[in-house]
Amino acid sequence: MNKLKYYVISGGVLGVFGALLVYLGNPANMGICAACFLRDTTGAFGFHNAQTLQYIRPEILGLIFGGFLASVFWTREFLPTTGSSPFVRFFLGIFAMIGCLVFLGCPWRAFLRLGGGDMSALAGVAGLIAGVFAGFSFKKFGYTLGDTQKATKAIGLMPLFIAVVIFLALIFELKLGENNAIFSSSKGPGSMHANVWASLGIAMIVGIFMQKSKFCSTGAIGSMFRGEFSMFSGVISIIVFATITNLALGQYKFGFEMQPIAHNQWVWNFLGMALAGLCFSLSEGCPGKHLVQIGTGNLNSVIFVMGMMAGAALAHNFMLASSPKGITQFAPYALAIGFCFAIYVGVFNKKQA
């Protein structure tokens, strides 16, 4: 019962604050989207050249800080770990991001889109379930990422220090000579953002509760295949509380067409999130969970998130990411390669006798 309580609270916090961040200036139905915000942050460093998608998102850093604070002061679970299949994790991150950018969102955004009335997200949620089921099936036949090993606390704190430096670069608008070292969009989704401190504080609260509950959207779906439904209550909570908050703020828009930063190509929405769900399942967590785990000293999650950022750069530099008009001509090939990689890993990455 205690776990169920925290799943519901964590989902409710994400649903309410995700909708509130839209009201405060974040893109519609994108209050907190781990994939989209990692993409924007990647662009802020100049790793892709989509000028409308460049901004260091404080929410990404807030999730890390929240995970750290909860693990040190609440759950007492700050325990740095490393060393588990870094090559596989990195490339799973790449293809997870490509799948997300074909769909236009991570699992959290899929649920927040539903909470905003965007029914085109249903195909993505169905794909997410299918991808997680595939990952669950591989695990039943012996798939594993191998054993982790402990790292020193000094090393486990390094990602936190880097996050602090990145935040300072944001608020002080880091320059090198006469040029900006950090890019920031003047138009498009990257230019739409809430107040820096509000974004950081809200994301920290979300991260704190996510670390306490151990909620994971892909884990919630995977647990259902084992006959456990308590974590899925968190998913329902996200949608319900986002819906209530969006209605209260007057920003709920029900329908399948003309939804913000979304397209209605159902097959590709399904396949994009199926690939992402498979990669998330094989990497042992959705991107929101990985960001929170970085704050707890999990260096394996750092590798996966770095892979996602590399995937964002590849997706925009090689025209793989969708737009509201739909997918690009190259996206199907990228998805096919991603499925081949993930299935290969799922079949052959097994624990050795």
Q: Phi and psi at residue 211, in whole multiples of 5°?
A: -70, -40
| Residue range 207-223, pLDDT digits in tens | 999 999 999 999 999 99
Q: Using pLDDT thresholds of 50, 70 and 90, give the confidence band for residue 173.
A: confident
pLDDT of residue 199: 98
Can you tell me the distance from the alpha carbon of 48 to that of 209, in angstroms, rounded to the nearest whole number? 32
Residues 10-32, mean pLDDT to the nearest whole number: 97
pLDDT of residue 240: 98
Q: Using pLDDT thresholds of 50, 70 and 90, give the confidence band for residue 180.
A: confident
Alpha-carbon radius of gyration of the chain:
19
pLDDT of residue 293: 98
Residues 164-169, mean pLDDT to the nearest whole number: 96
Q: Tell me if 34 sits within 8 A of 287, measured CB to CB.
A: yes
pLDDT of residue 178: 64
Q: Using pLDDT thresholds of 50, 70 and 90, give the confidence band for residue 10.
A: very high
Can you tell me the distance from the alpha carbon of 86 to that of 286, in angstroms, rounded to the nearest whole number? 17
| Residue range 325-343, pLDDT digits in tens | 999 999 999 999 999 999 9
Which structure tokens are listed for 274?
A: 């199926």
| Residue range 108-157, pLDDT digits in tens | 999 999 999 999 999 999 999 999 999 999 999 999 999 999 999 999 99
Q: Using pLDDT thresholds of 50, 70 and 90, give the confidence band for residue 83.
A: confident
pLDDT of residue 352: 64
pLDDT of residue 17: 98
pLDDT of residue 143: 96
- CB neighbour class for 240 (10 Å; exposed up to 12, middle 13-18, buried from 19): middle
- Listed as own residue / partner, the contacts of 43-47 with beta carbons closer than 8 Å and 24 or more positions apart are 43/183, 43/185, 43/190, 43/312, 43/316, 44/182, 44/183, 44/184, 45/182, 45/183, 46/183, 47/309, 47/312, 47/313
Q: What is the DSSP string of 187-202?
A: SSGGG----HHHHHHH
Average pLDDT along the chain: 96
Which structure tokens are listed for 155?
A: 């090393």
Structure-model confidence comparison of residues 49 and 71, the more confident one? 71
Residues 256-263, mean pLDDT to the nearest whole number: 95
